[in-house]
Chain A
């Protein structure tokens, strides 16, 4: 390049290789030189506009695309320039909406998360549980969705105000008392720190937010929540992404005829959650989660401290059958939680001396393992199949269960 900068073949080859290697600046230098050689080439303006588009410099990109459109472009150049101009228009808008919807059906071998045994050791002796409170298999249909509206506050660091929403409707074919209707909204500003000046964190963001949710169970109000949270994200050394969440939630439960003591769950939740992810290869990512949840409740025996540990591995690969043009995605995951409750639970008798009621404080251990397989149909739509197994062991037999589930759904992203 330094020896013969006017050699067009060398110049284009250099720009091509630079762009392939992600060195967009070198490609820009070369193509801008081509415009000094001849300024009225629409195709050069198109390529320069695209390079600036890739860099996120949309104002400059727009300048080149508009110049290309004004320089009698070929139909193909004009079509490409129009497509990029359309993409710029959506990115230059101060607001942005992204979201996803998952519609489908699932079968659960223990849909009511109940024990397999019909007999329960209680303080009044061994009692038979009514059939509806013993393990039941059931199928359900569901719709889950989430959405994020973000408004660019126009600061240099791209601070935004975000409103997020998540909703779930899960209705059983034959277990209506456990139908769930869930809706949650969070809102708050996100402050970004593109250069933290810290050796261990390249960029970060901080988002304080408010939480409101409403949950229905069996067609009746179950509880509502008011809360606050603080989310921090950071890109750490070695491409590790971190997200940490602190939340305080005040939950108010309502009783219903078939659950007359639900109000005993009312109280406050304190949550700390850390999620780490790291690309292992160009097509795979390893994830890890650490969590702590302190649930304070009106009835002390419902209150608990829960510790969670999880790991996941996500890989993307070409369709081995050659049927679909887009890559398949497979996620393996496993989680383990330990819950330690705050007071002896009156529900059950546990290994005390004969003829004396001996309640115990509940301790649960939950293993969850699963595999999720995504078959993309288009860039924004995919079929999802998921198999999962939950094994909850507890020192109180009322709370132990094993649930195997299979889920089939259609996912749409926007």
Chain B
């Protein structure tokens, strides 16, 4: 099959067909991604199903509700290679996922009620629409990476990390994030989004710390990496070892004006019209000009 399509409309149609031919769960089981790391505890509840603990390598299903405990974390890798990581005391539901492997715009719609999250864009976010609904706002991502924190029954903070833009819409008002390190806050129910502002020092680090593993946790992996394994992989030579390449990439990500052009020492006399006036002190030219010009 060239594409994976999971929309409400498709689901409705499929469900009707399934009721006639097979059983409803067969449709609801459609896979949208995989749990690629899980620190306990995290649970998944399929629509109409029972809650179960989730583990690494398990499929994430359409409309499944995922939740973490006070120490739980999980990373979901979607079929379009985008990823959503949620931290402790967080939840997430995949409401819609349309992804065409052969290209074309897709859709990823998620919702959350609480918790911290990091979304890293994949193919859908570059070509189509990615939205995350919270009780306070709808967040739309175009390319890139965002961090967020939805306090239960409280404020929402959205941080721009990388990409084209993130739009936050609440109470009929939309604000746009475009610059890394900037944030938008929705103060509470019924409030509009704030204007974009530079995030307070440490705010991003505080969220990252809730998403990057727990002391003693192994994400469900049977074998965990070590410094020796990382070194042997050679990835350090490709990424951090290429300092000049990193500088060049960083410069491209932040277009800045260069210094003015140098003045040409060879063409300067011509540019200054010196050829027009240099013979003025020649005796004859001076006589002519004295007579002719005012």
Contacts and interface: CB of A to CB of B under 8 A. Distances in A.
Interface of A: 1-2, 4-6, 8-9, 12-13, 15-16, 19-20, 25-29, 32-44, 46-47, 49-60, 63-64, 66, 74, 77, 80, 83-84, 87, 91, 96, 98-100, 102, 106, 108, 111-114, 120, 122-124, 127-130, 133, 140, 142, 144-148, 150, 154, 156-158, 160, 162, 164-168, 170, 178, 180, 182, 186, 190, 192, 194-195, 203, 205, 207, 215, 217, 222, 233, 257-262, 264-265, 299, 302, 346-347, 366, 368, 379, 386, 388, 390, 392, 398-399, 401, 403, 405, 407
B287 to A, nearest CB: 7
B259 A147 contact: yes
A349 to B, nearest CB: 10
A36 B39 contact: yes
A190 B260 CA distance: 14
B269 A43 contact: no
B102 interface: no
A233 B33 CA distance: 42
A388 B266 contact: yes
B170 interface: no
Given A5-B77, A12-B230, A54-B249, A38 B224 contact: yes
B46 interface: no
Contact of B293 (A40, A43, A84, A299): A299
B278 A60 contact: no
A78 B145 CA distance: 26
B232 to A, nearest CB: 9
B180 A55 contact: yes
A407 B244 CA distance: 30
Given A147-B259, A392-B270, A27 B77 contact: no
Contacts of B223: 6, 8
Interface string B263-280: 111111110111111111
Given A29-B81, A29-B83, A53-B246, A390 B214 contact: no
Interface of B: 33-34, 36-37, 39, 56-57, 73, 75, 77, 79, 81-83, 85, 118, 120-122, 144-145, 161-162, 164-165, 176-182, 196, 198-199, 204-205, 208, 211-215, 217-227, 229-231, 233-236, 238-241, 243-244, 246-247, 249-250, 253-270, 272-289, 292-293
Contacts, number: 354
A52 B239 contact: no
Contacts of A87: 246-247, 250
**Which 3 pairs between the two chains have the least Cβ-Cβ distance?**
A39-B213, A56-B253, A5-B36
Contact of B212 (A15, A35, A170, A259): A35
Contact of A265 (B236, B238, B273): B273
Which of A43, A63, A144, A405: most chain B Cβ within 10 A? A43
Given A106-B265, A133-B282, A148-B259, A5 B56 contact: yes
